[in-house]
């Protein structure tokens, strides 16, 4: 980080560094160049056993060491920028790992559920989390859970179903659908209904804000 000429690591800077890491998590084994702030190549990694992806633990430790007063919740807020995108499973792993090392989920989950300017970036995070609930399950962190007392039989105890226990997730998706991402959100709901139809419909009934979506 010192070689990059960074004199002050603001939350926005850290967020953009993390964003770059999750977008470039593969292909680091050959011809990986790291440049100084003046453009000078300071390292070339060509070893056969070179790092396959970013060492996210070291990144978080380095940030905390360099900026002991860093507010990681502010870093999460700054992930709402045009370059943020969670494209696949490994990107989600890196992002979730970094945040778990930095702060409890309960301290930032409301930011993920909230309104973003970069709605596409927000939806990419939500989509990958729904797709891979073994990495991040919304049902484990609902600000408001879907009430299931009325069900006559217990739900299957799987992450794929339990991730839809979050009323906040359902409302977040519906809100994003209203921003022009309706087809993508509709596809997410259709896939979800195949696994957790009862839970999703209960959630829709329990929302206090009315949305219109044809499933």
Contact 32, 97 (CB under 8 A): no
Distance CA 148, CA 159 (A): 16
Distance CA 161, CA 166 (A): 10
Q: 75 is written with which tokens? A: 């870093």
Running DSSP on this structure, what letter comes out for residue 40? -
pLDDT at 45: 42
pLDDT at 209: 64
pLDDT at 36: 35
Contact 50, 29 (CB under 8 A): yes
- Taking the chain (215 residues) in runs of 10, the rounded mean pLDDT of each run is 62 95 74 39 40 84 92 98 96 96 93 96 98 95 84 84 94 94 96 94 84 53
Residue 209: CB atoms within 10 Å? 7
pTM, 2 dp: 0.82
3-state helix vs strand vs coil in the chain, percent to 5: 55, 5, 40
Strand 32-35, strand 41-45: pairing: antiparallel
pLDDT at 46: 41
Q: 162 is written with which tokens? A: 């339990």
pLDDT at 149: 82
pLDDT at 92: 96
pLDDT at 39: 39
């Amino acid at each position: 980080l010192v070689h990059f000429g960074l004199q002050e690591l603001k939350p926005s800077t850290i967020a953009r560094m993390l964003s770059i890491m999750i977008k470039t998590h593969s292909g680091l084994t050959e011809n990986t160049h790291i440049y100084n702030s003046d453009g000078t190549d300071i390292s070339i990694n060509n070893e056969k056993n070179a790092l396959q992806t970013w060492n996210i633990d070291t990144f978080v430790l380095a940030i905390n060491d360099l900026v002991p007063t860093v507010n990681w919740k502010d870093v999460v807020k700054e992930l709402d920028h045009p370059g943020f995108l969670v494209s696949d499973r490994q990107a989600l792993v890196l992002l979730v790992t970094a945040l778990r090392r930095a702060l409890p989920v309960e301290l930032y989950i409301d930011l993920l559920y909230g309104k973003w300017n970069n709605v596409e970036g927000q939806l990419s995070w939500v989509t990958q989390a729904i797709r891979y609930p073994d990495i991040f399950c919304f049902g484990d962190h609902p600000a408001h859970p879907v009430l299931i007392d009325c069900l006559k039989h217990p739900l299957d105890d799987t992450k794929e179903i339990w991730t839809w226990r979050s009323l906040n997730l359902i409302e977040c998706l519906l809100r994003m659908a209203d921003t022009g991402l309706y087809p993508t959100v509709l596809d997410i709901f259709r896939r979800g209904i195949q696994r957790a139809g009862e839970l999703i419909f209960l959630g829709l009934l329990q929302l206090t804000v009315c949305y219109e979506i044809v499933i």
